[in-house]
Structure 1
Amino acid sequence: MDAGSLNPFSNLRGRSRCPLQEQILQRINSKENLDRFIPNRSAMDYDYAHYMLTEGRKIKENQIVFSPARDAYRMQLAEALNMNRTRILAFKNKPPTPVELFPSNHTTSVHPAKPLKPRRHIPQSSERTLDAPDLMDDFYLNLLDWGSSNVLAIALGNTVYLWDASDSSTSELVTIDDDNGPVTSVSWAPDGRHIAIGLNNSEVQLWDSASNRQLRTLRGCHRSRVGSMAWNSHILTTGGMDGMIVNNDVRIKSHVVKTYRGHRQEICGLKWSASGQQLASGGNDNLVHIWDMSKASSNSPTQWIHRLEDHTSAVKALAWCPFQSNLLASGGGGGDRTIKFWNTHTGACLNSVDTGSQVCALLWNKNERELLSSHGFTQNQLILWKYPSMVKMAEIMGHTSRVLHMVQSPNGCTVASAAGDETLRFWNVFGVPEVAKPAPKVHQEPFSHLYRIR
């Protein structure tokens, strides 16, 4: 085959060339054109090229008028032969014919569209309101807790009352005499049966709620009132006005097993992480400390792993995230008004949101990525936030004084709040979980060895 046979326009030799042909041949034969575009012969249609350079070109230039029937025939022929193109040369292969991955029958769908989840209704009024006379209007105390047995405990002055959510019955657990009272904190043990009661005289009492009897009294932990407590299995961690944090093993006679020193003023909040490895503490000195259980030593005061100093007011509200183990939310008092999020592995502050009012308590939704906060002056409201955008989903009014305490039912749906207006309100703010999970079995052995020491 000679070189001329490789030229797609070799069959035009000996014929008169139109100006378009001359331009193309000059471009192909030009040696000065350094940025050449070489056509891909295997991708070209020679019949179409010949037609466009001869008959097709004459028709367009001379504007030959055909009869309507003949004109319609030519149009259909051009469409059938795909002659409505304008480009002659081809520089790359045609793309492969698309493969239909799914059947063209649209009557049945392989992947039916997922129905949109209906927007949850968030009630703006409480489901139930109970009187809470003599509830102390003190920001630093923790007077409300909801146990795993679905019983809520509230301290009103010198008396601790129990409200059973299953039948709405109320009973009195204990009334402390004036020399030791008032009650400054309450905290249910993980088994939902035993409860710790912190007192103004620095002591802590342990009670069996089923038999309404006192099991023992923990003394020597603090020098002043015990305003915050948190359980970690058989370890009861207490925080006092003296700035001390103490781990008490309730199974043994010498119950003080570890101490944590870092705060200079009263301990307002204590929360153990779900794993029981990290403890978060908040104080009236505007500090948040993160302590690691594995690094604790019984021989000397334990050193914190992170000292968080970004808040500018007392920190009472603390909440560990249920879906991210190293995420902690903290809320500042009236001089701070922010909710801050911390990576407790690195100590980094991930976000800070100005709420505009005193943050008294924080609760994570166990079923959705949401955070609920309760506030003091000026609105005394509850705010539901979408996490991590921190967009307000709802502001819930009802209390007429600062909402000091907020706890969650065992199933994570109902929230109880207690305020300085001496009312206890119940809110269905977190909705109903899609799939009810069975409650985990609680090992009660650690509490079977409580010493009855008064």
Structure 2
Amino acid sequence: MSYAPKTPARHQRSRSEAKTPLTPSLITGLNSFSLATPAKSRGDTTNPFISSSKHMSSSRPVGRPVSSGRPKSCSRPSSPAKRPSSGGINVTHTLQRQASAGVIRKGGIESRMDVVTRDYVPPPKPEVRRSKSQPSRDTRDRFITTRDTTEDLTAKLDFLTLNPQGASPGHTARLAAATGVSLNSRVLSYHEPPPSASSDLLSEQRELVRPLYARPGSLPTSTSSSSNKSRKISSQPERVLDAPGILDDFYLNLLSWSSLNVLAVALEGSTYMWKAESGDVVHLGDAPEGSYVSSVDFSNDGQFLGVGIGSGEVELWDLETQTKLRTMTGHSTQVACLSWNKHILSSGCGDGSIWHHDVRLARHKVGELTGHQGEVCGLKWREDGELLASGGNDNVVNVWDGRIGDVAPGTRGTARWTKRNHTAAVKAIAWCPWQPSLLASGGGTNDATVHIWNTTTGARLHSLVTPSQITSLQWSPHKKEFLTTHGYPTNAVMIHAYPSLERVAEIRDAHDSRVLWSAIGPGGDVVVTGAGDENLKFWRVWDVPKERKSKAKEFKEGGRGSTKSGILAIR
């Protein structure tokens, strides 16, 4: 059995002496020289690192001395860094001691050695970083992802110039001529701000429509109602009447409720009556062909109905016989409002004039009032007939003396009080029934304010700002409260206390369109409202005093049998 020869282990040489520390620069310097020592024994001629004698100088090279007690065959060959060479330097005990201490004397042999000034420096280890919980943010341009980050391509105003030295100078010149930009000038530069508009039309229009978009909050839903703790008013009407074809016009007055509990409504070119006690609907008459009904109003006793026509005529109808008694002409444009005072029927015209018609006389015109520069859209006689209030599209409220007396043809009256506090058309006019000297007036979209006047002194007593245009006003005959109807954006019915002007209740979005008209029933507890959504709604907003509950009960029982479904059609 054969065995592979083992490699003899290297002889480990034991040393009792300690190693002499040398600096790397000194070792490198020493390696460039050959050190010669006094000859004690003949060098090893078998050492391949020792040069031949023909290349040596006169001093004989000697190898490393062999320690006594060791055989020649076990000694390691001499290090090539210590091989002898010609011109060697004798190493003395003092030089060895200085070399081991790392001291270099100025002018000494060690100062003439080539010292390495750039030692080996290991490369830095890469820094190990922990991974972040979030990915690093991409700092590249999100619009130009191929942008060179070393060269910022952001254009500056100083460099935004046309380059006439481009590849095509002719094209550059044509481009400059077409765009009107001169060469070597900035394309973008700072200039003075443009001048403001010479007309304030845009700002005025913004102010006009601001209330339309300033819908107030305070209600959880658009169809809810709010009231104080002492009053609970239903947000649902008691009755709904269908009124197809009713005109959606702010300046017209198309509802009137008589003392005989009969409601008159104008539907485009026709006039209808709805009897609350029986629920019957009666077609009274039609306007002339090509025209429309612009206003209706009952006489104080409820026996006659005045009808204003869009062409300027005023018609008088007898309700008992349902016949037209006469037609009074003279106005040049539509008659938007009517008001009765006994046998005098006053009419407001689109030209700003107010005429008094005595329905008993053939020559019906007994007076004319000219105090408005715009269309008269609100007109109301006080119950005692002493004062007449009018509101117009010229934002003016006039209070006239009602004592007409004997007048001659062409006689014109002047207003007792003229108020110009409103900033929009004044259509809502109402006299207080329990304090005759109080007059309430409400303005349109740009005003939306209720002013209460003392007509005895002409003073303004109170003002109330509402969230939207005011289309009508009604005073309660039994409570110190008044009701207002509103257009865009709330389409609400609001009840206010007097004189505190606190909001007692509000029915937001009472109609799907702006609430344009209202009338109070003879009992003083029910108010009917009309709107552009072609609906008439009846709201029970006030309580009836004990002595008047019987009339309210009759009203409710009379209409109950004819409103089983809650909707009546007037056709």
TM-score after normalising by structure 2: 0.55
| Distance in 2 separating the partners of 1:194 and 1:127 | 28
Query: Secondary structure of the equivalent of 1:294?
Result: coil
Query: Which one of 518, 528, 533 corresponds to residue 416 of structure 1?
Result: 528
Corresponding position: 1:189 with 2:291 = no
Query: Which one of 362, 368, 378 corresponds to residue 269 of structure 1?
Result: 378
| Distance in 1 separating the partners of 2:287 and 2:392 | 26
Query: Secondary structure of the equivalent of 2:505?
Result: strand
Contact 1:120 1:431 (8 Å CA) reproduced: no
Q: Which residue of 1 aligns with 2:418?
A: 307
Corresponding position: 1:374 with 2:479 = no
Q: Deviations over 1:342-371 (max 9, x none)?
A: 011121111111101000000001110010
Q: Which residue of 2 aligns with 1:168?
A: 279
Identity of aligned residues (%): 44
Query: Which one of 138, 145, 148 corresponds to residue 256 of structure 2?
Result: 145
Change (3 A) 1:277 1:437: farther
Query: Which one of 513, 523, 528 corresponds to residue 401 of structure 1?
Result: 513
Corresponding position: 1:298 with 2:407 = yes
Moved over 6 A (4+): none
Q: Deviations over 1:184-203 (max 9, x none)?
A: 00011112121011001100
In terms of mean alpha carbon deviation, does 325-334 or 393-402 score higher? 393-402
Q: Which residue of 2 aligns with 1:247?
A: 356
TM-score after normalising by structure 1: 0.69
Aligned-residue offset at 1:212:
1.2
| Distance in 2 separating the partners of 1:119 and 1:392 | 12
| Distance in 1 separating the partners of 2:470 and 2:231 | 25
Residues 205-244 of structure 1 aligned to structure 2 (within 5 Å):
205-220=315-330, 222-244=331-353
Structure 2 residue identity aligned to 1:301: R
Choose 1 or 2 for highest CA Rg: 2
Residues 75-90 of structure 1 aligned to structure 2 (within 5 Å):
none
Contact 1:413 1:428 (8 Å CA) reproduced: yes
Corresponding position: 1:428 with 2:548 = no
Query: Secondary structure of the equivalent of 2:413?
Result: coil
Aligned-residue offset at 1:177:
3.4
Query: Secondary structure of the equivalent of 1:238?
Result: strand
Contact 1:311 1:332 (8 Å CA) reproduced: yes
Q: Which residue of 2 aligns with 1:352?
A: 463
| Distance in 2 separating the partners of 1:245 and 1:319 | 17
| Distance in 1 separating the partners of 2:391 and 2:362 | 28
Contact 1:296 1:302 (8 Å CA) reproduced: no
Contact 1:204 1:226 (8 Å CA) reproduced: yes
Q: Deviations over 1:94-146 (max 9, x none)?
A: xxxxxxxxxxxxxxxxxxxxxxxx94432221001111111111111000000
Structure 2 residue identity aligned to 1:123: S
Contact 1:413 1:433 (8 Å CA) reproduced: no
Residues 45-194 of structure 1 aligned to structure 2 (within 5 Å):
119-179=230-290, 181-194=291-304
Q: Which residue of 2 aligns with 1:282?
A: 391
Contact 2:231 2:504 (8 Å CA) reproduced: no
Which consecutive residues of structure 2, in runs of 5 or more, have no partner in the other structure? Answer: 1-228, 552-571
RMSD of aligned Cα (Å): 1.5
Structure 2 residue identity aligned to 1:261: T
Corresponding position: 1:257 with 2:366 = yes
Aligned-residue offset at 1:434:
2.6
Query: Secondary structure of the equivalent of 1:129?
Result: strand
Aligned-residue offset at 1:296:
6.5
Structure 2 residue identity aligned to 1:142: N
Structure 2 residue identity aligned to 1:430: W
Query: Secondary structure of the equivalent of 1:435?
Result: helix
Contact 2:467 2:490 (8 Å CA) reproduced: no
Structure 1 residue identity aligned to 2:273: L
Q: Deviations over 1:119-176 (max 9, x none)?
A: 4432221001111111111111000000111000000000111000001111111122
